[in-house]
Structure 1
Amino acid sequence: MQKQIIRRTPVADQHLPMNLHPVVRQLYASRGVAGDHELELTLKQIAPVTSLSGLAAGCDILYQALQTSKRITIVGDFDADGATSTALMMEALTLLGSRTHNFIVPNRFEYGYGLSPEIVEIAHQQGAELIITVDNGISCFAGIERAQSLGMKVIVTDHHLPGERLPPADAIINPNQYDCQFPSKALAGVGVAFYFMLALRKLLRDANWFANQQIPEPNLAQLLDLVALGTVADVVPLDANNRILVAQGLKRIRAGFTRPGIQALIEIAKRDQTKLVAADFGFALGPRINAAGRLDDMSYGINCLLANDLMEARVMASELDELNKARREIEQGMQVEAERVLASLKFSEDNLPFAIALFQKDWHQGVIGIVAGRLKEKFHRPSIVFAAADADSPNKDGVFDNEQEIKGSARSIPGLHIRDLLEHIDSQHPNIIIKFGGHAMAAGLSIQAKNFDQFNQLFSQYAEAWLDKEQLTGTLLSDGELPASLMTIEFADLLQEAGPWGQQFPEPMFDDEFELLQQRIVGEKHLKLVVQKDNVAFDAIAFNIDVKAWPNSQAKKAHIAYKLSVNEFRGKQNVQLMVEHLKAL
């Protein structure tokens, strides 16, 4: 879909420090930075721990468990946020003196998401007396009830939006509870886990625990590399509080204070640890961890993060890298097939439906979320991709059972809260959706295969009712033109230092008209360019270009939206434009 570039309207920025570069000051102001206090990215500025409700009850339960050496089981999730949350809890409990804790992460193909009754049974067989969920639990009613019937206590730590009622856990720590006064509702699951451990450390300190146990009080800042990775990889908004957590994690990693698992992932992704940026978490490290949960078993990704030996971590990171390559191949095949299906439905940019839902019996459950995201990006429509819940479906006779459950992964566009839409469908048509959960921009659900057509119709119908046509036009927000005098290595470095950039605090993007001096395809579908502005030439690259449209020998000029970057090759640095949008003029 051809996207429209909209330039941000200049806003007042006098409330920000005048010693900032004027371009940077305007970037901050346009992203809603309220004052210089939001630019001081130190741990002293994070939201108070005491403002997160549920911590007192959770800490009391966990303290009692530590005192009596109860068996504690962490139940995680099979994405990067769940993996980092689980690793953080495992390491923090060890630092705080526990010797009787372990973790379980559900295999998505066998048990599905969260604290299910089946996972509770496994925990019970392992002797669990206290279950702590991380990055899940707020919708796990049946699992919590089963755990309590077996005599276990349950602490839920989660950040997903709760439903109309809360589960009957012994303690719930979630900034999105209706009565929680915590100022940042954007915490990732790993951020919630970090706050929980900060509160527990204070309780233990006040109880003289460390002296009694003859162990040193730990500096929990050593966990911030995990917090930063999980926060960015989960694509939660980088509000002021999350920017502090990410900035502090990045600072530690760049300085060499990170765990072997993250160091090994940085190496395998061919990133420079001393120059790591937030985007590297989302595009390089996160996908490799996620690949374990998508195709195999997320416990492997967690064990990589928990590895104490660098050589061991490198072996694990290499295997995660191979899984990620396999994931990309499966995803590419599914995406091609999904686009073929859309083409067969005779959709064009002029008659696309308000929402897209696709299901194919042989699609891989592990990558449907990525494919839904790709469709959303390409067509700018809320998209849901379904796959069979049973990995062995169809059966040995090649017959697919329409009574069976299929799982969908949804991605939305600005203006449509996808979880609220699913909740509305469920309230109006209670026999269609088996279960659902999620956020404004991403959600998951299960339905029976036989109900797919009806669900598809309802999904498109309600999306049309909830969306305006203007919201269906893909837009790119640009920070305007950048003078050639600022298109330098020094200014590109300044922009990186002004971060971290991320979800709802986007990396600066500029747009302008350029002369096209050179065009060539590299790596099958990437367009390498040399462009010129004000008689100054710049390298540029556009990834995943439409090779039917480019290279374009007829085009002598182009309108380009880009991010300013620095490319390093054989020890030499030069400015490079990372092309986000390209239109021949």
Structure 2
Amino acid sequence: MTGHRARQWKVRPRAPEAEQRLIEAGTDPLLARLYAARGIEDPGQLERRASALERPDSLLGMEGAVAVLAGAIERGETVCIVGDFDCDGATSTALSVAALRAMGARATYVIPDRFRFGYGLTPGIVAEAAELLAPDVLVTVDNGISSRDGVAAAHQRGMRVVVTDHHLPPAALPPADAIVNPNQPGCPFPAKSSAGVGVVFYVMAALRARLREDAWFAARGLEEPNLNEVLDLVAVGTVADVVPLERNNRILVHQGLERIRAGKARPGIRALIEVAGREPGHLRATDLGFVVGPRLNAAGRLEDMSLGIRCLLAEDYREARELAAELDALNQQRRSLEADMHDDAVEALADDPALAERHGVCLFREDWHQGVVGLVASRIKERLHRPVIAFAPGDGGLLKGSGRSVAGVHIRDVLERVATTHEGLLSRFGGHAMAAGLSLDPVHLDAFGDAFDRAVRELADPEALTPRLETDGELGPEELNLRKAELLESGGPWGTGFPAPLFQGRFRVGEVRVVGHNHLKMWLFPEGGDYTVEAIHFRGAPEGRAPELEEVELAYRLEVNTFRGRRNVQLVVEECRPAGSGL
């Protein structure tokens, strides 16, 4: 069976001058060391107050979008949100509907069924929205930047269209009445890594300001909505969409997390956290991606995302809890499907070793589920450290593919290269640096696989395809304590583009045993220390047996483990290898 490619451990470089400036500004030396290794050069980059957020007025197209929406609200017209079927799309939709209704708008929503309509504002979903809801204005969230045909179809029916999106735009933009996307040409907004939910949060903030200027709230006795109340949605969607946590996104996620930890989250998010068995008061940013996000995504992957949006919009906790339980059950079903499909993929790699040696890898099975192929692509990408696209049968006789890439290989650019050098090969594609989706005629699958491999070879720096594990170096034995773990926890939010601290070190093994089905629990003596520290290596015993270990080198995270009200320090092992193995 094809195993994981061995990763080289490398300590992240950091700028000593930046580290010293941070220390002089009062930053703890350990955090200063970590921040300097993540490109932080000035204490201002670490600001987490909401007042430090970028202003909405620098988003190109904002004035036009607000004019369309404010006019629709003031005329009593119906505004329909057209979302996406992933977590970013669900949180964007829920935020928009909640904010618009709080402003007195007649707001509704429609979510494309991925199996009937596919992604984005298609003519099919425009027709369905027109028939069921008869809206005057369509607003896309987390999609729309590539929807030329859908916008044209809406205009033919007399609807105005506002596109809000964050994905990379095509050469020709859709003929919408307004477009708000920080990545569209000419947009000066500095936070280019905003998620879809972040973009529409800004649209709602600017709309509220416009309605305030128009005396809309005062004239109708409406309480002006507090948009801090939707920051829990912004945090969930931002983390779940795996966008880089640059300064503005870190502020948004921090503010949303603070609301959740303080017990101020909306009922749906509280219910999703509860069904996962987590405590809101100790939630981390990563929990939003691994706990809340998958349960929302399960609805869009296996059925349709309306269930997730109903949960997020629920005002009654009992209703939210029932909907969260349904989402949790769907997530269990998704996990089972994913496990089976992952086993199929690993078997395919074992049967064809040459496939695993390609620079770009394509996988397909007739019985795979199109809603889960992206997760399989992600897991195989981690295994091979190569861009991977997994395909499943779709509607209309086409294959639906979902791709995931490694840092340094922009998968949408790869697909662009394939499309321009092999005209007619791709039916449709879109995405961003690390993830993309596409449609393909089955007769072109082999040709596409070869073209994808060649395009990755041509565009990728070979160094990007060398698996590496970046660490923050070693901690002294005196630093492996609860106080340091709490310091690291408080220094976030950590996530994509601002990775959680990962350390390396040598330990003598005191005791080791298997917990659960395949996790390793270890008690370790740090080098130079005379005490033991607990460690957990999830899936560290794939055969269900504890290995014989005497001395190990670990790449690990220093975390706070909260269990039954008690907090203790724990090493969460990312990678374990025998000491002196030289890997």
TM beyond 0.5: yes
Give the CA deviation at 1:467: 2.2
2:220 aligns with 213
Match of 2:75 among 68, 73, 81: 68
Which ranges of structure 1 fall in alignment gaps of 5 or more residues? Answer: 391-402
Letter in 2 for 1:2: A
Give the CA deviation at 1:548: 5.1
1:384 aligns with 389
Give the CA deviation at 1:214: 1.5
1:109 aligns with 115
Is structure 2 residue 414 aligned with structure 1 residue 407? no
* Distance in 2 (alpha carbons) for counterparts of 1:517 and 1:2: 26
Q: Superposed, which structure 2 residues align to 1:223-262 within 5 Å?
A: 223-262=230-269
2:377 aligns with 372
Match of 2:413 among 405, 420, 442: 420
* Secondary structure of 1:73 counterpart: strand
Which ranges of structure 2 fall in alignment gaps of 5 or more residues? Answer: none
Q: Deviations over 1:515-561 (max 9, x none)?
A: 122222222222222221122211111122363596321x3111100
CA change 1:68–1:306 in 2 (3 A) is: same
* Secondary structure of 2:353 counterpart: coil
Letter in 1 for 2:268: G
Match of 2:9 among 2, 5, 9: 5
2:129 aligns with 123
Contact 1:484 1:536 in 2 (8 A): no
* Secondary structure of 1:161 counterpart: coil
2:350 aligns with 343
* Distance in 1 (alpha carbons) for counterparts of 2:279 and 2:564: 14
* Secondary structure of 2:143 counterpart: coil
2:539 aligns with 544
* Distance in 1 (alpha carbons) for counterparts of 2:52 and 2:424: 47
Contact 1:412 1:441 in 2 (8 A): yes
Letter in 2 for 1:575: V
* Distance in 1 (alpha carbons) for counterparts of 2:384 and 2:237: 28
Contact 1:97 1:213 in 2 (8 A): no
1:14 aligns with 20
Give the CA deviation at 1:134: 0.3
* Distance in 1 (alpha carbons) for counterparts of 2:448 and 2:544: 36
Give the CA deviation at 1:23: 0.8
Q: Superposed, which structure 2 residues align to 1:129-528 within 5 Å?
A: 129-347=136-354, 352-390=357-395, 404-528=397-521
Letter in 2 for 1:579: V
Q: Deviations over 1:96-123 (max 9, x none)?
A: 111x221000111111111111100011
Give the TM-score of the pair, scaled to structure 2: 0.96
Give the CA deviation at 1:272: 1.2
Give the TM-score of the pair, scaled to structure 1: 0.95
Contact 1:250 1:276 in 2 (8 A): yes
Letter in 1 for 2:475: L
What RMSD over aligned residues (CA atoms) do the two structures have, in Å?
1.4
* Distance in 1 (alpha carbons) for counterparts of 2:196 and 2:285: 17
Q: Deviations over 1:209-266 (max 9, x none)?
A: 1111221111111110100110001000000000000011111111111100011111
Give the CA deviation at 1:297: 1.3
* Distance in 1 (alpha carbons) for counterparts of 2:312 and 2:129: 22
* Distance in 2 (alpha carbons) for counterparts of 1:296 and 1:84: 17
Contact 1:41 1:243 in 2 (8 A): yes
CA change 1:152–1:56 in 2 (3 A) is: same
* Distance in 1 (alpha carbons) for counterparts of 2:149 and 2:75: 27
Contact 1:17 1:36 in 2 (8 A): no
* Distance in 2 (alpha carbons) for counterparts of 1:363 and 1:170: 39
* Secondary structure of 1:366 counterpart: coil
Contact 2:482 2:569 in 1 (8 A): yes
* Distance in 2 (alpha carbons) for counterparts of 1:469 and 1:241: 32
Match of 1:45 among 44, 48, 52: 52
